Amino acid sequence: MEALIKELVEIDGPSGEEAAVRELIRERIEQSVDRTFTDNLGNLFALREGPAPLLLFSAHMDEIGVIVTHIDDHGFLRIAPVGGVRPHLLLGQRLRFKDGLLGTVYHEKIKDLKELDWSKLYLDIGAADGETARKHLRIGDMACLHQPFVNLGRRYLAKAMDDRSGCAVLIEAARRLPRSLPQGVCFLFSVQEEVGLRGATTAAYRLEPAYGFAVDVTSVGDTPEAPLMAVALGKGPAIKVKDRSVICHPRVRDLMIATAEQEKIPYQLEVLELGGTDAGAIHLSRGGVPSGALSIPCRYVHAPSEMIDAGDLRHAVTLIEKLASRAWPLPEKEI
């Protein structure tokens, strides 16, 4: 999976501009499913046909980035966040636009780092003046962090592990599925998760799945002075109990736990106090969809370099494969 992860993270795809990521994923998964299609927002659906109940597994394609809001007469650009970007983490970082143009981020004169906010940041693309800068860029152009993939042995380091690692898990799981499945399965690669779970909202409404699952990263509590959290790198993927967007359905959560234990797949339980995933949108679709989430432990989420464990990734693939392969009951309607 290392080569697949590298391919995925080194493509740029900020929220709303996921086309390049979508086309790569389509190429990598289309031989493993019956058909692929997109919708009006740009979500990619990869479907294995089968009887009810339909299972929906979702990982988002978009990544955090910045958007150009102003170009001054000296050629410096003002920027705003696309998704959950913290301004102090951008200082000195290189950003890349989709045509390959690079720039570096710095700040106006401040007395203390506490004064730093988006109004103090600027992006320098090396333009001699505003006229030169405007020949290359315009208001509304987006850029992503420019960071290569690095293999650290047991761990992988790159930008956009959130959530290209989840995309890689779904692609690899689709490759491993048996030809015959007890129910239909759709792998969704959603858009605009980082700005409000938007792609998953419309996709779930269209598909009307019986069960929904998000596959995304989660924060960890295993770094120095980290917030107390019972998730660590290298101890297996995390089965979500709750985050700010969803309380996972008990029947779904319990079936996920039972599957992991039956297959001897290491797992952790996750309660995430901040943040959410596509499950937050899926479970509210139409009359409600019993939903769960599988999380890939990740250090430094929404930082220029995010770190995941190769073993956690492999175990996540196995668990998704086993969940998609087992027979799921039709959901009970509670009246």
With CA atoms as reference, report the closest residue to 85 among 143, 22, 166, 156: 143
C-alpha 71: how far from its chain's center? 30
Widest Cα–Cα separation across the chain = 67
Q: Is the Cβ–Cβ distance between 293 and 305 less than 8 Å?
A: no
Helices (H), 64-212: 130-136, 161-176, 198-207
Token pair in block for residue 267? 């797992």
Q: Is 193 a catalytic residue?
A: yes
Task: Strands of 243-288 (E only): list them.
Answer: 268-271
Pairing status of strand 35-38 against strand 150-151: unpaired
With CA atoms as reference, report the closest residue to 271 among 219, 223, 222, 234: 219
Token pair in block for residue 268? 């952790």
Which of 17, 63, 193, 321 is flagged as catalytic?
A: 193
Positions annotated as catalytic residues are 193
